[in-house]
Amino acid sequence: MLNLIGTYECKADVKGRVMLPAPLKKQLAPAMSEGFVVKRAVFQPCLEMYVMDEWNLLMQKMSELNRFDRKNNDFIRRFTAGVRIVELDSSGRLLIPKDLLSFAGINKELVISSAINIVEIWDKDRYEKAIDDASDDFADLAEEVMGTKNIIGNGIS
């Protein structure tokens, strides 16, 4: 399983190319030759980037959904809307398609943040606002998600 670490501030050029930070590029190196999948996030106004192995695992789970159930079909269509395969160019830059940049509100300054096995790509201001907005609720959220009622085994602390 992929376990990415780090949050990085970057800049996109006018064509939507982003130089991946060296520490992140090093973590992604084993998967670099297969390319990545970039898509709209479900819950936030940001993008998600998957290494191909992680994407294929997710698609395997989704392929088990019954496509003759209207909700499943609608979910698959919306989840995969705007999905793109992207690769790093010879200079180590990632080209993010314009429609995805527009969805995430990314103009120039952005934040690339690890989220365990995927990378989130945010407009810098939106990222800071999302982190600030969540800070008030984080203790309650941590207790609800990681508290004793949901812990398997000995816990994490």
Give yes or no for residue 80 having a pLDDT over 90.
Answer: yes
pTM listed for this prediction: 0.87
Give a yes or no: residue 83 inside a domain.
yes
Binned at pLDDT 50, 70 and 90, residue 142 comes out as confident
Give a yes or no: residue 133 inside a domain.
no
Give the integer Cα–Cα distance in Å for 155 and 90.
44
Which positions ≥6 away from 65 have C-beta within 8 Å? 72, 75, 76
Give a yes or no: residue 151 inside a domain.
no
Give a yes or no: residue 144 inside a domain.
no
Give a yes or no: residue 74 inside a domain.
yes
Give a yes or no: residue 85 inside a domain.
yes
Give a yes or no: residue 60 inside a domain.
yes
Give a yes or no: residue 150 inside a domain.
no
How far is C-alpha 104 from the geometric centre of its chain's CA atoms?
Answer: 11
The CATH number linked to 90 is 3.40.1550.20
Give yes or no for residue 153 having a pLDDT over 70.
Answer: no
pLDDT value, residue 154: 56
Which tens digits make up the pLDDT trace of 16-63?
999 999 999 999 999 888 999 999 999 999 999 999 999 999 999 999
Domain count, the chain: 1
Measured N-to-C along each axis, helices 124-135 and 138-146 cross at an angle, to the nearest 10 degrees, of: 80
